[in-house]
Structure formats: C-alpha cells, structure tokens
Chains A and B, each alone.
Chain A
Amino acid sequence: MKFYRLETCKLKACFHFLMLHCCLLLAFAFVVGCGSDDEADEQDDRAQGEAFEAGTMLNDFSNTVVLATYTALDNKAGELLAAVKALEASTTQANLEKAQQAWKETRKPWEQSEAFLFGPVDTQGLDPALDSWPVDHVNLQSVLDSNDALTVDFVSGLEDTQKGFHTIEFLLFREGNQRKASDITTRELAYLVSTTENLKASTSQLRLAWAPEGDNFSSAVAQAGAGSAVYPSQSAAVQEMVNGMITIADEVANGKISDPYNESDTTLVESQFSFNSISDFQDNLRGIQNVYMGKFMNDGQGLNEFVNSKDSELDSRFQAEVQAAIDTIGAIPDPFRDSITANRGAVQAAIDAVSKVQRTLEQDILPLVQASEFN
C-alpha cells in the first residue's frame, strides 16, 4: 500500500515534468492549427477496440447483483424479525440460538452489499441506520432503565447508535455465544423486537429504493449515459462499480482487520459480540466477487468479461486473488478478537491477501476502465 502510494506520486511528478516540456510543442501545434495524423489513427484504433457493451453489464450489476442482494437482505431480516418475536413469546435457549443464527444469516447479504455502498443506502441514510458503530451503551441502558413504552415508533426515533445490526447483536449475544436466555429481561425483549422491526423497515426501504416497483435506482445505473440523470455517462457508472470494490477492499485490509490488529485492541473489532468478524470479512470479499462476476443467485454479465476482453491474464489473476483472500481470511482461527494477539501471522497474511486485491483493482482494473470510452 505504502509502496504503491509512493509509486503513484513519482508517476505524477514525471507526468508534470513531461507535460511541461510537451506543452510548448503542443501549444505550437494548436497555434498553427494542424492536427497530427498519428493522433487520428490512435483514435480510430481505440474506437474499434470498444466492442464491449457496458449497458448489459450495468443492467446485470443493478438487477442480478445489487437488487438481488438487497432482496435477500430484506428476506433474511424478515426471518430475523420472526425469530426475535418467537424469542419474546417463548424465551428459551433454543429460541435464542435460532435468533442468533438468524442474525448471522441476515448479516451475510448486508456484508456482501458493502461492496456497493453508494446510491440510496447512502443518500437515504440507511447505512448508519442499519450498521452504526459503536453502540451507545449509556443511552441504551438509560432507555432500558426508563419507563418509556418501547414501541416501534419510540425506538425508531432513537439515535442510530442504539439501533440496527450491532444493537441487536449486543442484545442477542452480549459476549460471544455465552448469552443465557434466562438473563434476557422483558424490557430487553421488547426493545429487541422493536429495533428489529425498525431494521426490517430499513431493509425494505433499501430494496424498494432499487426495485422497479419502488424508486427504481437500478434503472439510474443500468441506463447510465443519456438515460440517467445520476450517471450522465456509462464511464461514471462503471467507475462507481470499481470504486465500490476498492472501497471495501481498502476498508477490510486497512480498517476492519488492521485497526484492531495494529492496536491489539479488541474494542475495535467489528461484530465483536457475536464473534462473527471472520464471516463478516469473508462476505465483504464475496461482495467483490459478486460484483466482479456479475453473479449473486443468478449469473449475469460481469466486469470479468470486460477485463477478459482486454487482458485475460489479468482476469484470471484477479479471480484467483479474490478467492485467495476469502480463503486466507477463513484460515484465521475463530474468534478474530483473540487472533489479533494470538495468531498474528494468520491475521497479517489476511491483510496481505486483501491488500493484493485492492492493489489489482487500483493499479490494473481501474486504469483499464478509465482508459475505455464507454457511451
């Protein structure tokens, strides 16, 4: 990462140096008004090389990957809601474990969706509503200790830091899988049901924001170019896809894994109550895989076909790198919070593997996309 940053700066410096010298010549060319034949030929070559149809890929990305992932998320959130209601009705250890499992199942599509954290999930404030961290323990305890009726409306009106995935996680798991059903208070159960109702409302809103029967943001991406006010060019939409993958690769390598690892600080670990961190990280990488391959439940046209048409070696190398990152994360012994001190080699290997994915995206795939003239 650091090496790459330096490299970039050097490139940039070289560029400016060269440009300064080229400027005089080019400026002269402008003044006399003669174009270079070589330049024209290069333009023709480029035009002929652009056979790839970005519209199909953007359509498949929007529908086959993004909307399908959000639909899965919404369905799983519905199952989680049913499970916490069952737990409230009958607070047995078996029902607690079912609710815990339902939380983990809901977490999967959400973490995969972090490979495309743009659009309504951001502009409608749904990312913080669903996934705020840290949990505001003081506020949460104040509410539990109060006499306020814990209705859905009341809980929905509270801060994002006492709602969403991690508040539900805290109530269901506390420390790892040690939570006893008998320890859960009546008010905690009421809070759990209301905050899960709120989570389900957010996942529905997110699905509808992309769905044709709702706000149909899918079409804003799929119709990029003349047909979209959000993405006036296909290049911008394809860049959005790649940026989304880079963002999550960077976040996993340099934030989610590195921060607690570098500080040896378990309070910085994501999904620390459920010990679900390793799954979270793997699903982030699976999200990259989904976007790149254009595949979630069904297989569509992905970025892989574009990259393959330009550089087949790069395509196969990147696919291998993503799979290697998923496997290397999976090789970290559970729970992650212990491994940041006990298995530092395994954690470092995961950081390196994810960094490699990020580097290939930044250095090889993004430039390929930027050099292509889509519509």
Chain B
Amino acid sequence: MITQMKHFGEACRFPKLAIQIYSLLYLTFLVSVLLCACDSESPVAVESMPIFSTSALSGGETTVFDASSHAFSTPAPNLSAAALEKHLEGDVEFEAVFVTAPAVVNPGLGPIYNNVSCINCHSRDGRGRPPGSEDELVSLLFRLSLPKTADSIDRQPPIPVPGFGRQLNNRAIVGTPPEGTVKIDYTEQTLVTADGTRVHLRSPAYSITETYQPLPEAVEVSPRVAPAIFGLGLLEAIPEKAILAYADEADVDRDGISGKPNFVWDVVAQRYTLGRFGWKANQPTLLQQAASAYHDDMGVTTSLFLIENSAGQPQLTENKATPEVSDEILEAVTFYVQTLAVPARRNVDTPQVKQGEQLFAQAQCASCHVPTLRTGVLSGVPSVSNQTIHPYTDLLLHDMGPGLADNRPDFHASGSEWRTPPLWGIGLIRTVNGHTNFLHDGRARNLMEAILWHGGEAEASRQAVEQMSKAERDALIAFLESL
C-alpha cells in the first residue's frame, strides 16, 4: 500500500470564480457587521450569520480545489512548513498497519479487533459502507451495552456487556476466538411521494452470530459506519457557546426542533464536557476520539487507554504496562485529522443548485444542518482557527424518530437521538469512496433515501420533501451534490 497524497498544487490556483466568491464573502461580512452593530444584545456573533452559504470555500482557508478521489485526503493549504511536517507524520501513522506482537514493525494488534489500521475503515479519509451480502465487515462496527437498570444513573456511559465490553470485535489474531460476527438482513419497503414517485427504502435487521460465549438476550446493539474524517479540526475549533446557542432542548421556540448537547466523559480533563464527535456526539475531543479508535477498534493501547479492550476476557494474554502507541504518534495522528482540508463546492452558481439551496432552507433542513459557523481558536492548530466554514451541522443531538433509532442511549443521547452529521463533501463520496451509502448504518443507498429516512424532529422536513415535485427534488439533490 502507498500513502495518501501530500501535494499542494491546489493552493496555486486562484480562478476568477474564487475572486467573485471573495467579493461576495466580503459583502456578506459587511452585512454581518452591520447586523451585529444593530443588535448589540446578541451574545454570539454566529447567530447573525446568513442562512445561505454564498461561498464555495466550505472550509474557509483550509479549502482545497480537488474533485478527484483525493478530495478528502489533502492537507489544509494554509499549514506552516512545520505544521505540514507534523501532518505528514500523522498521515503515515494513520495508514500504519498493525500486526501481532512481537514484531519489528507496528506490533500490538488485538488480540481482538475490528480492523488493522485507521485507513482501512476510513478509506481515503472518507466514508465507510455496510458490507454486501458476500463481504465481511470492514468499515461498519457494532456498539454493545446492557440496558440501564432501575438503579443505574441516567446520562452515564453505556453499561458494558460482560465478556464483550462495549463493542463487538469480530476479528482476532490467529489462535484467539473473535467475539462473534453479525448477519445483516434488509427488508424493503416502498414510500410513495405526493407526485406518485415510488422510492424504495431498506430497513436493516442485525443478528449477532458465532459468539465465543453466549450474549445476553437483552443486549443493546448500535451499528456505526466509519465517517469521513476531513474538516474535523474546524469542528473542534467551534466555540462551545456557539454550539450551545443553537440548543433548544425543551423546544422553547416551538419550531418542533430541539437540539440537545451531549455531555460526555473527557478522560484527559477528568470531567464531563461537550461531546462533538461520533454518531452520537459521544467523544469530546479528537485526541480522545483517536485514542478510543486505537483501543476499541484495533486493540492498541495508548496513554489515555492503557487497559486492553479485551481486559477481563479469555482472549487477553498480556497487558503491557507501556502504551503500544506512543503519545508522539497519538498526537501526530490527532493533528493529521485536525488539519485535513475541506474540498470546495462545485457548480455553486448553477440555477438548479441555487434552487435546491433555497428548497433546503424552506424545508427547514438548515435548522439542524446549519450552513455557516465561525471557528474560534483551537490551541496549537492556527490553520483551523478563526475560519468561516460551511459544515451543515449544529453538532447537536436530535430525535430522528423510531425508524432510525438504535435504542441504545449514550450519555445524554437517547435511543432515538443522533448528532447532526456534517454535509460538506457529501457530493464527493461517490468519487472518493465509490458508493453513495448514507446514515449511521449505511442503509440509505442514495441521498434521497437518506432524506426520506428522516423522522422525529425532522418529520415536517421530510414531509416537505415528499410534497416536492420531481424537478424540486432533483434540485435539492443537485444542491447536496454540490457540497
């Protein structure tokens, strides 16, 4: 295997379009300043930002102009030379393939795990998909837990399953039993839109089989597809109060949309902090996200998680006292993830895309998929600091209805709440990852299916899309594909 690309030719291209965009941005900025001046009570400047993203520069100064399969794996063009070196070190570690210890290169795999490298799940720094009928699980994993009991405290982490922990590790080193595997069965259903168009949706059912010991009947199972990892430093750099400004847990404004922050355990800070990452916003920082992935997904220990994921299980033979991955490597990988560029939008000015963008706002999609946010300062990562970005997320939890529910609470997230995933780059998944599977378990086979799975707080938005004409739905999709 070879490592991902590390070139920066993009930075040299300054097309006329970009100049026009800059001037638009500048106008937007002027208007925002004026609005802010008029509304001196506004505590957070973000609130006065326009709903419409007038810019192709989805990642601010970290944006790259690349619509090829490298769109997600390019370093931010505004990195300093020293920062770029660190990014490239992290790139190598992100692709490092772990093997069974003892070994000269990359020992420490397992003994139980889901995959052998970061890149194997987050292929090309992009998005995973569920396996086909013949394939094994590659970039889809299953979280496990026991149901909360009457005396368990609410809003705590999920309760681990004895003998399995909080995640099913379906692979193991030779001579060691994996925990089990998963069989996926899909049931097709048909939804008919107002204009008579039939859309097929498939609903997955999971059965855990070949377990090395019996699994409790009542176990909670939550499927998680590997998400794309570019632009995450920008999301980490959004000030907490800017995110909380969008929260409306009791729906005080009665728009049917709540928006709830998750508060999760930060193992470094040793306290509960705002969750931002993962399908249920159950990780507070990218450092902890990366360390958890080493630990839970690869069975590789770090200073954050020194106890092997197989602790207390028969698969474990030895728990080394020192981390299998050093702090230096963990930090490099974290920095790599923090500093991947965001691809620029394409076809921003075509009439169809513009119409779709309006429909997106009219259907209230933008209430949760917030188009524009402003980052604050992320310590040690100036390239993502103070950027105006267009991620199309509020990083908050929303009830998505019973159709999508995993029924596995995670800290403050209920069994039917999910964090709004960012939509930037979504139109390039096909080019980068060769598929168009969306949602937390990849059940949606295209963008329209993903939209039509929305329920709960998004019920009215989905109904609005069902009422659209075919031309309007095409425009909505054209807009999403331009992201």
Chain A residues at the B interface, C-beta cutoff of 8 Å: 2, 4-6, 8-9, 11-12, 15-16, 19-20, 22-24, 26-27, 29-31, 39, 42, 114, 117-120, 122-125, 127-128, 131-139, 142-143, 146, 158-161, 229-233, 235-237, 239-240, 243, 246-248, 250-251, 254-256, 267-268, 358, 361-363, 366-367, 370-371
Contact = CB atoms under 8 A, between A and B. Distances in A.
Contacts of A239: 66-68
Interface string B15-28: 11001101111110
Contact of A232 (B100, B116, B346): B346
A124 B433 CA distance: 9
A236 B7 contact: no
B8 A26 contact: no
A255 B1 CA distance: 11
B170 interface: no
A250 B7 contact: yes
Contact of A132 (B20, B67, B97): B97
Given A2-B81, A138-B100, A358-B7, A363 B26 contact: no
A22 B97 CA distance: 48
A2 B27 CA distance: 37
Contacts of A248: 2
Given A12-B78, A119-B69, A367 B12 contact: yes
Main secondary structure of the interface of A (DSSP, over half): helix
Contact of B5 (A12, A22, A247): A247
B106 interface: yes
Given A26-B20, A114-B2, 9 more contacts: A12-B61, A26-B23, A119-B69, A136-B103, A139-B173, A230-B434, A236-B67, A256-B2, A371-B13
A9 B2 CA distance: 26
Contacts of B102: 138
B174 A27 contact: no
Contacts of B79: 9
Given A6-B81, A236-B431, A251-B2, A26 B7 contact: no
Q: Chain B interface residue count: which class?
A: 35 or more
Contact of A240 (B24, B68, B103): B68
B475 to A, nearest CB: 16
Nearest to B80: A9
A94 to B, nearest CB: 33
B12 A363 contact: yes
B2 A246 contact: no
Nearest to A247: B5
Interface of B: 1-16, 19-20, 22-27, 30, 61, 65-70, 77-81, 84, 88, 92, 97, 99-106, 109, 116, 120, 123-124, 138, 171, 173-175, 346, 430-431, 433-435, 481
B9 A367 contact: yes
Contacts of B25: 23
A117 B26 contact: no
Contact of A231 (B80, B101, B175, B431): B431
Given A231-B431, A247-B4, A254-B6, A267 B104 contact: yes
Nearest to B119: A128
Nearest to B65: A370
A12 B11 contact: yes
Contacts of B77: 8, 12
A30 B28 CA distance: 12
Given A122-B123, A123-B434, A250 B5 contact: yes
A26 B99 contact: no
Contacts of A254: 6, 88
The 8 A-B pairs of least Cβ separation, nearest first, read: A123-B434, A366-B9, A26-B23, A23-B26, A138-B100, A236-B67, A240-B68, A136-B99
A131 B3 CA distance: 12
Nearest to A256: B2
